[in-house]
Amino acid sequence: MFIWNLLVKNFPEYCESVAGFWTVEPLNALTNFAFFIGAYYLLKYIRVNNLKNRLSIFLTGLMVVMGLGSLLWHSYRSEITMLLDTLPIYIFFILALYLFVQVLTKNKKLTIVILALLGLIYYLIFTYIPGLNIFSGSLKYIFILIVLVALSFFIRKKYGYDYNFLTPLGIFLVAIMLRTIDIFMCPFFPFGTHFIWHILIAIAMYFGSTLILRLNAKMNQV
């Protein structure tokens, strides 16, 4: 129940809002096709680089599910569609965190303990500290970003610049900023900036997924 409340407790507000079932937020909905495009190019990357495995299939499918979930949420608001919108991106981040920690520790039990501690810290911060759900919940993504950036520095130091996650994480930072200022842009731009969040997240997820697959392949070779 606490996970449900954490993910869907507060409905975020967006600039774009038009009456109708499939046109609640048309631009916010349509830009989710960026995830489908990203999944297509990720599949091509997997084939060209011979990286087909369960992880690559899962990441490609997750991009498709993320696009569908967000498309439904921005077309029709409900607790179910919001869960479909938020859950896939959290799954992606948990997977990324697991791999990041695992390649550094090379100890599955220690990795699980570290992830559990991070999850507990996340839950306590955003459940018991008041006022952190402002800005449409963007502070939750900032927390995840900080952890991923810190881990990415250690990964780059250990495995070299070929495994530099700072580019997709930089795109993720810009995406968070545009997601955050969306509601403040309403007087100047009625469509807001949330739709750009979708495009940038799809791009960041594509580049992040390619690096994750390469890093996973390297780890399996060791």
Tell me the percentage of the chain whose pLDDT exceeds 90.
64
**What pLDDT was estimated at residue 127?**
83
Q: What is the mean pLDDT of residues 48-64?
A: 95
Q: Is 79 annotated as a binding residue?
A: no
Buried b / exposed e along 99-135 (16+ C-beta atoms within 10 A): bbbbbbeeeeeebeebbeebeeeeeeebeeeeeebeb
User: Greater confidence, 120 or 17?
Assistant: 120
Quick check: 194 pLDDT over 80?
yes
Say how far apart CA 121 and CA 109 lie, in whole Å.
Answer: 19
Q: What is the mean pLDDT of residues 38-60?
A: 96
Query: What confidence tens digit (pLDDT) does each residue in 178-187 have?
Result: 999 988 888 8
**What pLDDT was estimated at residue 189?**
86
Q: Is 198 annotated as a binding residue?
A: yes
User: Greater confidence, 95 or 221?
Assistant: 95
Q: In the block, which residue shows the tokens 């520095």?
A: 153
- Specify the amino acid at residue 65: V
158 token code pair: 């250990």
Q: Is 16 annotated as a binding residue?
A: no
